[in-house]
Amino acid sequence: MCVILVCPPQVRPDLDVLKACHAANPHGAGIGWRQDGAVHWKKNLGPEQLAGLIGKLEGEIVLHFRWASVGGVDPRLCHPFPVDRGASTKLEGKAGRLLFHNGTWGGHKSALEFIEKRQDRTISRPISDTRVIALLVDMLRDDSTLEHIDGRFVLYTPKRTKLYGQWRKWRGMQTSNLGFVYELERAERRARWADADDGEQLALWSEGGEEVAS
């Protein structure tokens, strides 16, 4: 499913939240931040790596946790992608714009053919739907393209953050979905179970917590 967290300057998810997002979307996380007039990214990170990094960053940040669909499990296909002619698959770098995506787009194959034909070139592999979208937005020079593609997007530049699709506010952050909250609650129940006496464990069990004992 993937999940994106848009975190204001004074809001940071703790390690438990990062672990829950990773448990729900375990195929590599990425982050974008602003620095020195550009947007920077790192990706294919785990929860502990992210926790160490976000504690050092100032300003708004964007996090993405990937559930692999188009392109399969590949570190290079973690988000974000720079919105430029190459849509680099490097695991870190800086750019003028970054794209994060939560969703799956069935039109990516025909769009890739359109890009390659129009630009008379073959796009390097690996390919994912999100990477194709980044290439398409750059080629068309039209951010509004994202309004016509299924999913939720963040277009992240040195001066603005634009969200597309339906978003939810959670703990001071904007999130593309709340699927990870189940993993967070399950981890919290397990922690409570481990610290509880027999009577408290019975009460937790009655909450529907067979999974607590697993």
Render pLDDT for 14-50 as a digit per residue (tens, 0 to 9). Answer: 999 999 999 999 999 999 999 999 999 999 999 999 9
Q: How far does Cα 146 stand from its chain's mean position? A: 16
Residue 106 — very low, low, confident or very high, per pLDDT cuts 50/70/90? Answer: very high
CA distance 158 to 95: 9
CA distance 164 to 175: 12
In a domain, 190, yes or no: no
Residue 207 — very low, low, confident or very high, per pLDDT cuts 50/70/90? Answer: low
In a domain, 68, yes or no: yes
- Domain span holding position 120: 3-179
CA distances in angstroms from 16 to 47, 112, 191, listed in the order given: 9, 38, 11
CA distance 10 to 31: 16
In a domain, 213, yes or no: no
Count of structural domains, the chain: 1
In a domain, 203, yes or no: no
The H or E element containing residue 188 is: helix 181-195
Mean pLDDT (the chain, rounded): 92
Global pTM reads 0.89
In a domain, 36, yes or no: yes
In a domain, 45, yes or no: yes
Residue 61: pLDDT above 60? yes
Question: Which is more confidently placed, 164 or 204?
Answer: 164
Question: Which is more confidently placed, 174 or 212?
Answer: 174
CA distance 95 to 68: 24
State pLDDT tens for residues 148-202: 999 999 999 999 999 999 999 999 999 999 999 999 998 887 776 555 555 555 5
- Helix 198-206 crosses helix 181-195 at what angle (to 10 degrees)? 160
**CATH code for position 116:** 3.60.20.10
State pLDDT tens for residues 133-144: 999 999 999 999
